[in-house]
Amino acid sequence: MASNVLRDIDFARYQRWLNRAIGADAAFMIFGPDGETFWGEGRSDTPATGRAIAAASVGAPGLRRLDIDGGRTVLHRSLGIANDISLGWAALALAPDQETTTARLDEIADAMDDLVAGIVDEYRQRAELELMTEELGSRYEELHLIYAIDQHVQNHAGDYESAFRSLLQSTAEHLNVDVVAFVRPEKGVSLHATSLSKEIHNLDLVLVEMRGDLFRFVQSLRETIVLNADDDPRRTYIFTDMPYKVIACPVRSDQRVDSLVVLLNHKHKPDFTNSDRKLAEVMANQLSSLSNTYLLLDSMGEFNHQMATALIEAVEAKDPYTRGHSERVNLLSMEIGRTMGLVPAELDDLHWGSLLHDVGKIGIPDAVLCKPSKLTKDEYAFIMVHPERSYEILRHIRQLKNAIPGARHHQEKFDGTGYPHGLKGERIPLHARIMAVADTYDSITSSRAYRAGRSHEAAMAEIERVTGTQLDPAIVAIFRDIVAPEPEWLQRFKIRREKA
């Protein structure tokens, strides 16, 4: 990962800075840990220089000097270490006739120190951004599955078996798995769904095996098993002569394994991965609750809230005054979306977009984000960057493709004077226009470091004032209808009311 991050850095900018710092065109080079060239390829002797530095500089701190054949001198400095691996070196080749007095060398050393500090800072920021993106990608699949379970339970409230079948079918399609099954032998429960890549002629026998030897094996082992290879030694006593790839997850009830969730694929499909295993275990954990209670709707609502809160904790922990903002904007956005009659797929995108709309604020310095007084022009520029930073973080997650536009453009204004792109009217994505109304309302009614939250009436008056300039009039009209009957969240969010 380190090399990939370094290759993305714009070293031309550092080249220009070094030229100004030392008052000359610098033969500036960046090498990886093995001497490979990241910057400075134009010199014919650069590869040999990189190899020489890599061979001579193991563990060497500070600015070092290396004399190379031909009377050339190279000053080089380590970029540091990440995860016990060297990042590489920054180097500056001095011409044979270049001034090398002690004062001049001190000047160059200071410039090199500042240059390396800048590169290392940028590397750390990019590495943190990449790790956050990877974490969001893995968390998305888990949260999406949990959210889907909650939705299926709501759609089939009170109908235990129908909810299970619908959930299994959705999981088979979402994970592209040939068979997803839930078995509970002692209760005679055996439910399954298919999304077949090709027919399974002996499916009944496969289900019998799941309820029999496979269940007994996992019940005794009390942990998930994954069978991918044909020569896996466990196939001598489970799934014998059945050429399928299998994940089997125990479902616990009161510390006892009484059920099993099984994912099964034909052998021509790719091996199950650790990610597949983790998703199967998430599903098994949720079915553990669902299989033992008809009250899962309430518990899942709470669990989903906890998972969503955990996801945005990194953002809202930076500023205690914004704690709960993403959750409230999410709730209000979904109220508007449902009232507008958005289809389930659009509601799903609106859900994730509104929940993650402020994730880019993690890159704003605390001194700006938490400043109790008016922001300067430069400080406000940091704030204006956050939608684009949200986009940069989320754009690598394929599943969020249709949710990103809402998060990216929620600060656009209906008259085209917003940011980041100055979109106008219906050129602003619909989800962004919805989120803008929800975000405006919550920003006014919730407390900030520099002021107390204002009343519902004040918020509605301000929304009316900016309708047509900042906010979409059609969506404001829908929001007006939503709040007219005094929804319960007014009290739950402790929004102040003015006396009549």
Best-predicted range by mean pLDDT (113-122, 169-178, 467-476): 467-476
Which two tokens mark 444?
């006014």
The answer to the question of residue 116 being in a domain is: yes
Single pTM value for the model: 0.46
Mean pLDDT of 408-432: 94
What is the reported pLDDT for 269? 92
Q: Which residue has the tokens 């704003």?
A: 364
CA-based nearest residue to 409, from 394, 382, 391: 391
The answer to the question of residue 84 being in a domain is: yes
* Same domain? 108 vs 224: no
* Same domain? 69 vs 112: yes
* Same domain? 91 vs 196: no
What is the reported pLDDT for 296? 44
Overall number of domains in the chain:
3
Q: In terms of residue numbers, what domain contains 373?
A: 299-492
What is the reported pLDDT for 98? 64
Q: What percent of the chain has pLDDT over 70?
A: 78
The answer to the question of residue 138 being in a domain is: no
What is the pLDDT confidence band of residue 142, given thresholds at 50, 70 and 90?
low
Using one digit for the tens of pLDDT, what is the confidence trace for 350-368? 998 998 888 777 767 666 6
Best-predicted range by mean pLDDT (14-28, 443-457, 460-474): 460-474
- Taken in order 305, 310, 311, 313, the sign of the CA dihedral is positive
Best-predicted range by mean pLDDT (30-44, 283-297, 486-500): 486-500
Choosing from 236, 269, 293, the residue where a domain stops is: 293
* Same domain? 123 vs 180: no
What is the pLDDT confidence band of residue 112, given thresholds at 50, 70 and 90?
confident
Using one digit for the tens of pLDDT, what is the confidence trace for 218-259? 999 989 999 999 889 998 888 888 889 999 999 877 778 888
Residue 111: CATH number of its domain: 3.30.450.30
Torsion angle in degrees (nearest 10) through CA of 283, 284, 289, 293: 100
The answer to the question of residue 452 being in a domain is: yes
What is the reported pLDDT for 76? 81
The answer to the question of residue 235 being in a domain is: yes
Statement: residue 41 has pLDDT above 90: no
State how far the Cα of 283 lies from the Cα of 141, in Å rounded to an integer: 11
What is the reported pLDDT for 469? 96
* Same domain? 337 vs 468: yes
* Same domain? 453 vs 304: yes
What are the phi and psi torsion angles at 195 (to 5°)? -140, 70
Choosing from 269, 293, 317, the residue where a domain stops is: 293
- Range from 44-48, 91-95, 200-204, 335-339 carrying the lowest mean pLDDT: 44-48
* Same domain? 386 vs 267: no
Using one digit for the tens of pLDDT, what is the confidence trace for 312-343? 676 666 666 567 788 899 999 999 999 999 99
What is the pLDDT confidence band of residue 348, given thresholds at 50, 70 and 90?
confident
Using one digit for the tens of pLDDT, what is the confidence trace for 69-109? 666 778 888 887 766 667 888 888 877 666 666 777 788 88
The answer to the question of residue 140 being in a domain is: no
Statement: residue 485 has pLDDT above 90: yes
What is the reported pLDDT for 304? 44
Identify whether the C-beta of residue 400 lies closer than 8 Å to the C-beta of residue 394.
yes
CA-based nearest residue to 208, from 242, 255, 243: 242
Mean pLDDT of 392-402: 81
- Range from 57-61, 117-121, 299-303 carrying the lowest mean pLDDT: 299-303
* Same domain? 170 vs 195: yes
What is the reported pLDDT for 105? 77
Q: Which residue has the tokens 């979306």?
A: 337
- Range from 60-74, 463-477, 478-492 carrying the lowest mean pLDDT: 60-74
What is the reported pLDDT for 83? 63
Mean pLDDT of 277-305: 62
The answer to the question of residue 397 being in a domain is: yes
- Range from 254-268, 277-291, 461-475 carrying the lowest mean pLDDT: 277-291
State how far the Cα of 246 lies from the Cα of 239, in Å rounded to an integer: 9
Query: Between residues 162 and 197, which one has the greater pLDDT?
Result: 197
- Range from 7-16, 48-57, 308-317, 433-442 carrying the lowest mean pLDDT: 308-317
